[in-house]
Amino acid sequence: MSPRPGFILNVDKSYPGTLFWHGEGYRIEKLPEGSSVIYAPESLPSLSDPLGAIEDALDNPVGDSDPLDTLLTSGMRLTIAFDDVSLPLPQMVSPDIRSLIIEAVLERAARAGVEDVVLIAALALHRRMTESELRHAVGDRVYDSFYPRGLLLQHDAEDPKGLSFIGLTPQGEEVEISKRAAESDLIVYVNVNLVSMDGGHKSVATGLSSYRSLRHHHNVKTMVHSKSFMDRHNSQLHSSNWRMGAVIKEAGIKIFQIETTLNNDTFPKQFEFLQKREWEWNLKDRAKFITTSKALEATPPWMARNIFHSIRSPYGLTGVNAGEVDAVHEKTLERVYKQQLVHVSGQSDILTMGLPFIGPYNVNSIMNPILVYCLGLGYFFNMYKNKPLVRKGGVLIMSHPTRNEFDPVFHPSYIDFYENVLSETTDPIEIEAKYEKSYAEDPWYIHLYRTGNAYHGVHPFYMWYWGAHALDHLGAVIILGGDPKVAKRLGFMAASTLNDALAMASAYVGTSPSITHLHSPPLLMAQVE
């Protein structure tokens, strides 16, 4: 039986309630009659022979590219860059798809007599991965062969000797990337595409670049005009990356892009009910929901967090394409949309969503208030094509405990951003103008980024800019079940129940609003007409 497409439930009297993620837990909320609940398409079947699919992609590249074997020659300099720990979410069960691809590429390189091979985790300004995360991504065999010899690197965007200035785009955007990558005869980029924002020229132009380069698209103006940044062809973020990609290509830097797409199998058996439609829950699902939710209620947040972060997703591979960046990425987008796209008719006054325990920047860590903001107003809000799910001036209600909790090792500058910047203003434009430079150039943050496991000092700013389009669009944001003081610091309101949240929203959208709920998991993208 082929998987069912996405579905929009019109809430009526028989409706059993909707599961909302709520950080390290979940709750069932009853939306008012007439509300719409958008469900993602069912999981697409995974490829039965992933290794065969990888080999096939390497042999039969798309676009203007030769097969990988013909690009590999003895004496060449080869750099294999790969997506970091921010993808996929949660981390996938072993073997990670990246490790399979890297092994396949290395095997071919060895056959061709390539000896100068370096692997680079494309961190951009993300935190360095831990040993176990690196091992998971590349596999033990590759890790043990490359890391001890200094051939498995993590991109250092603050190493002045490790960066190369490539040139300027026609818009004057500076392009600076990893020197090793720039001076290689070939860059093989290994990507995992969880959402349509990932991949394409963003892989190298962002993943291997520096603050000098990133600031040209990671800024408020670009993000406000990326409608949405999940829609590559209507995203200024992507336009800028594509311009940079052109500069890289013109400079003679060869990229062999390998992109993969995953299905919607986000959770293992014991949490399978999370991605089912609630009215289709069987007795087992109900029992699992009750048992796990009761257990989580009695579990301290730190322990619940550890439990959830230990989950490995049984994602299935739906496709792998290799070759020329643009052509590969178009194929990727087709597959991502096939898995995630749901057609929705019209915008609503209120958009509701439940936010999970994890986002791209808190793998094995705490979802701090700025990341909650980014996940809701950045990622989830932007999961649309054409126009947002909520109308201009509408209200976003997002469910998350939003505690005043930070990870001082991974997110040191976030703490200062929360305390010193958000206490003064939440206006992205003012924040960017007044504070960004001092955080970006703070030597202590740079030191922690380069030598520890800290996100770069400027990273919380990017999180704030990620939500700038939503901030510009929305009339109000209400955090359901959030800490009121934290919500206030973010510039939002907090409500303890959905009814309270709806009552608060009525001040902005009246007493009979239309309501749409973006159901997750799994992830979906709305094509709003």
What residue ranges bind other proteins (CB under 8 A)? Answer: 415-416, 419-420, 423-424, 438, 442-444, 447
Q: Is the dihedral of CA 304, 307, 308, 309 positive or negative?
A: positive
Phi, psi torsion values for 182, nearest 5 degrees: -65, -35
For the bound state, the minimum distance from the C-beta of residue 446 to other proteins, rounded and expressed in Å, comes to 10
How are beta strands 525-528 and 77-83 bridged, if at all? unpaired
Contact between residue 62 and residue 327 where contact means Cβ atoms under 8 Å apart: yes
CB burial of residue 429 (10 Å; 0-12, 13-18, 19+): middle
CA dist 433 and 429 (Å) reads 6
Q: Based on CB atoms, which residue is closest to other proteins, 270 or 423?
A: 423
Nearer to other proteins, 265 or 442 (CB): 442
Alpha helices in 124-235 (DSSP H): 131-138, 140-146, 179-182, 202-207, 211-214, 220-224
Quote the least distance from Cβ 436 to other proteins, whole Å.
13
Q: Which residue's CB is nearer to other proteins, number 246 or number 415? A: 415
Beta carbon of residue 444, minimum distance to other proteins (angstroms, whole number): 5
Distances (CA, A) of 310 to 133, 305, 411, 435: 12, 9, 20, 36
Gap between the Cα atoms of 119 and 79, Å rounded: 6
Q: Are 459 and 414 in contact (CB under 8 A)?
A: yes
Q: Where does residue 371 rank: exposed (0-12), middle (13-18), buried (19+ CB within 10 A)?
A: buried
Decide whether 415 or 504 has the Cβ nearer to other proteins.
Answer: 415
| 386, 476 Cβ separation under 8 angstroms | no
The residues near 282 (Cβ < 8 Å, ≥ 6 apart) are: none
Residue with Cβ nearer other proteins (127 or 201) = 127
- Nearest approach, Cβ of 156 to other proteins (angstroms)? 19
In the complex, the smallest distance separating the C-beta of residue 406 from other proteins, rounded to whole angstroms, is 10
CA 246/CA 249 separation, integer angstroms: 5
Closest to other proteins by CB, 423 or 497: 423
We find the least distance from the C-beta atom of residue 431 to other proteins, in angstroms, to be 15
What residue spans of 79-200 are helical by DSSP H?
97-112, 131-138, 140-146, 179-182
What's the min distance (Å) between Cβ of 441 and other proteins? 8
CB of 458 to other proteins, least distance (A): 13
Q: How far is the CB of 23 from other proteins (least distance, A)?
A: 23
Provide the total of helices (H) and of strands (E) in the chain, helices listed first.
21, 20
In the complex, least distance from residue 483 CB atom to other proteins, rounded to whole angstroms: 15
DSSP state of 313: B
Closest to other proteins by CB, 60 vs 438, is 438
Residue 185 or 416: which CB sits closer to other proteins? 416
User: With respect to other proteins, which residue has the nearer C-beta, 91 or 413?
Assistant: 413
Q: Which is nearer to other proteins, 151 or 415 (CB)?
A: 415
Triad 190, 192, 195: Cα angle to 5°: 145
